[in-house]
Amino acid sequence: MEAIVVDDIHFSYNGVPVLKGVSFTIKMGQVVAIMGENGAGKTTLIKHFIGLLKPDVGRVLVFGTDTREASVAQLAKRVGIVFQNPDHQLFAESVEEEIFFTLENMGYTLSEAKAICDTILKTFELDRYRNRSPYSLSIGERKRLTIAAVLCYNPDVVVLDEPTAGQDYYNKSKLSRLITQLKRQGRGVVVVTHDVEFAAQTVERVILVANGQVIQDGPAQDILTDAALLQKARLLPPQIPVAASKLMANGIRLSAKPLLAGGLYTMLVEMFNHSG
């Protein structure tokens, strides 16, 4: 099912072009990364998903509705966005109230909101901070709170802008598992990220953006192992493809360029077994 259709959109800030004919479709059940250098237009692009920005030319459809014909509140019920800077989304006096406010605005009863709040705070390991001000938390904890505040009302599509910023390996792994769970539930997930290692482990499709245009859209396996293509977007490839390239440069033949450690290990085992 098509969740978001971006159809040849152009957008400018004060006459300066930022998006220059961008087109793609996000389907339910997909985990997609939008990747590119700073200033490529990624955050501007996702603001179009809930009508915070409207295209100068072209259109954006959210479950068939043109974003020009719906309010931000209506679109946000279907598409939940967690922006890069958590301080742009937090405003309540306590961590608990941050979740309650969202749930009440989405029509949940008090008893429903309480049960969901308890669960989501435990999931993100924020329950011990429930009575504290969000601004007393670390940047990583505030980031987790903004993600929790969006996921608590179960939007059909979840958009995460640089979700791994300020997160350690443990919380990155937990976030990756959560994204996998959302996919299993049939929801769409869009991740805006520079974290190529996280993308390699988590997403199935990459939309690569440079200078306000999509320069490649395809399977993560293909894009994240293409060093020349990534260089156009000023991204470094993940460590495993780099290691594979060095092995190949030293005369070790691999059947393909692996994206993850498991793939490289399997190829090397097969190669040595065959040579033996």
Segment 253-275 shows an average pLDDT of 64
Q: Does domain 2-221 have CATH number 3.40.50.300?
A: yes
H or E element at residue 118? helix 110-123
pLDDT for residue 239 = 86
Q: Give per-residue pLDDT as tens, 236-254.
A: 888 888 887 887 788 777 7
Report residue 184 as tokens: 């299993």
> Cβ distance 199 to 35 under 8 Å?
yes
Predicted confidence band at 269 (pLDDT cuts at 50, 70, 90)? low
Q: What would the DSSP string read from start to end of 122-175? A: HHTT-GGGTTS-GGGS-HHHHHHHHHHHHHTT--SEEEEESTTTT--HHHHHHH
Segment 98-120 shows an average pLDDT of 92
> Cβ distance 214 to 22 under 8 Å?
yes
The Cα 167–Cα 143 span in angstroms is: 8
Predicted confidence band at 118 (pLDDT cuts at 50, 70, 90)? very high
pLDDT for residue 174 = 87
The Cα 190–Cα 32 span in angstroms is: 5
Length of the chain counted residue by residue:
276
Predicted confidence band at 274 (pLDDT cuts at 50, 70, 90)? low
The Cα 153–Cα 117 span in angstroms is: 10
Burial (CB count <10 Å: 0-12, 13-18, 19+), residue 227: middle
Q: Give per-residue pLDDT as tens, 140-192.
A: 899 999 999 999 999 999 999 999 988 888 888 889 999 999 999 999 999 99
Q: Give start-end residues of each CATH 3.40.50.300 domain in the chain.
A: 2-221
Which pTM does this prediction carry?
Answer: 0.88
Distances in whole angstroms, Cα of residue 143 to Cα of each of 3, 83, 90 = 25, 9, 10
